[in-house]
Amino acid sequence: MTKKKPQTQPAPESSFNPGRWYRHNKSAVHRGLLYGIGVVVLFAIGWWAYFALSNREEKLTKDEYMTLARRAFNCGYFDVAILNYHKASNAAPEDQLVKREMFLARSRDNLNRGGGFELALASSYQVLADDPASIIGRVSLAQLFELRGQADSMLYYAGQALERGRATGDASAQLAADLVLATHHRTLDAQDSAFAYCEDALAAATALSDDFQVAFTKAGLGFAALQIDSLDYAQRVFRDLLAYRGRNGSDFNDIGSAGLADYFERRGARDSARVYLEPLRSSMDNNVIDGTTAYATRVYGRILRDEQKYDEAIEYLARSLEMWRNLRAIPDVIECLNDLAQVYRLKEDYLDARKYYMAAGNLANDQKLPRRDLYTADLNVLFLKNLKPDEYRRAGEEGIALARQLLVQ
């Protein structure tokens, strides 16, 4: 009889028991949950604080909003001015002067978009009537009369705005008045005065820490420096514009390139002048009508003149003349006429030389511009010597007729 082997019981299968684990680790679980909840709460508080601070708008007083609005207005940022006037109106709903100035800002913004001139003029007068000490009323009137070509009225209000801006330390008012006065004197070819006002404007723009206004002012300052033969100063200014990377950067870079081309042409470094004109060649070849292209085209015409490529020089100077005519920039039209006359004289085409000198001189006399009439006594002797009497007379008549034609257009 065989002996049975004892049967062994199978070992129970090991399995995870959540309840048993929780009972043994209850304290640790509770501490972990509390820690996790704390982290989540702290993260939420931190995020809320960051969001609140980054989106919180600092509440200013009515007067502080008005200061911001007037500064923006004087700098020509009418949309920013309207926004701050609106906030000032919310802070003081019953203040009628705030409403008047906000309406003025809206009318000036509308004028920039092609709206009515008379509405802007009337709203400027209304602000000045409500507040006889108003600076922005004077600034606006000076700018509007400058646009209309009423020099006496412009000078009156610009002078007052500049004086009051200096007395109150309002750099934005000084900037606006200086720019209007600089433009006026540049139009009169009073380049020394234009340069002085541009320097004052640059100081005001720098005080405002407004890079765009600094660049804008430097553009005018550079051209004025060229006209008074302060060439090295002009070069520094135009190099600054070439390095500018702010608002409307490409436009100011083009002005810097054109200005440096003019500088090098005046220095006789034609190869360098050509290099700086290269970024503008596309606009020049496509006859883009703007001040920078017209200026660059004229500089290129002078380069060709210096290289004795007279026919090509005449072609580019004639293009520049047409651009300036379309832009109604009479002083620049006169400059081009004188350049063309000089090329014709060098080409020994004395009939056309006298014609263009006569046109330039008559335009200069009509506009009462100094230094524009380059028709000297020596030139007259040259023309009398090389032209027949009927040719001499015809060239003079054609020059006078051309001047009238340019004025009418």
Q: What is the pLDDT of residues 135-167, one digit of tens each?
A: 999 999 999 999 888 989 999 999 999 999 999
Rounded to whole angstroms, the Cα distance separating 31 from 13 reads 32
User: Which residues does 74 contact at the CB level (< 8 Å), separation at least 6?
Assistant: 135, 136, 139, 170, 172, 173, 175, 176
Domains of the chain: which residue ranges?
A: 345-409
| Alpha carbon distance 181, 26 (integer Å) | 84
pLDDT digits (tens, 9 = 90+) for 222-255: 999 998 999 999 999 999 999 999 988 999 999 9
Long-range contacts of 222-229 (CB under 8 A, 24+ apart): 222/255, 222/259, 223/186, 223/259, 224/182, 224/186, 224/191, 224/194, 224/195, 224/198, 225/195, 226/259, 226/262, 226/263, 226/266, 227/189, 227/191, 227/194, 227/195, 228/191, 228/192, 228/195
Give residue 357's pLDDT. 93
Specify the residue for token string 């995870």: 16
User: Token digits for 5?
Assistant: 């082997």
Whole-angstrom Cα distance, residue 146 to residue 180? 7
Report the alpha-carbon distance of residue 182 to residue 164 in Å, rounded. 18
pTM of the model: 0.79
Asked whether 172 and 213 are in contact (CB, 8 A), the reply is no
Report CA dihedral (184, 185, 189, 195) to the nearest 10 degrees.
-130
Cα separation values, 337 from 86, 101, 206, 258, 349, Å: 50, 45, 37, 20, 15
Contact 332, 324 (CB under 8 A): yes
- List, as one string, the DSSP characters of 311-334: HHHHHHHHHHHHHHHHTT-HHHHH
220 in Cβ contact with 179 (< 8 Å): yes
The separation between CA 70 and the C-alpha centre of its own chain, rounded to angstroms, equals 19
Look up residue 12 and give its DSSP letter: P
Q: Which tokens is 286 given? A: 């496509």
18-to-23, 44, 282, 351 alpha-carbon distances in Å? 9, 31, 79, 112
Burial class (CB in 10 A: 0-12, 13-18, 19+), 354: buried
Which one-letter amino acid corresponds to residue 228?
Answer: I
Residues 6 or more apart whose Cβ sits within 8 Å of residue 38? none
The SS3 assignment for 379 reads helix
Each residue's pLDDT, cut to its tens digit, for the chain (409 residues) gives 455 555 555 555 555 566 665 566 666 656 666 666 766 667 767 666 665 554 445 678 999 999 999 999 999 999 999 999 999 999 999 999 999 999 999 999 999 998 899 999 999 999 999 999 999 999 999 999 998 889 899 999 999 999 999 999 999 999 999 999 999 998 887 889 999 999 999 999 999 999 999 999 999 999 999 989 999 999 999 999 999 999 889 999 999 999 999 999 999 999 999 999 999 999 998 888 899 999 999 999 999 999 999 999 999 999 999 999 998 888 899 999 999 999 999 999 999 999 999 999 888 888 777 655 677 778 889 999 999 999 999 999 999 999 998 876 5
Place of tokens 């100077």: 317
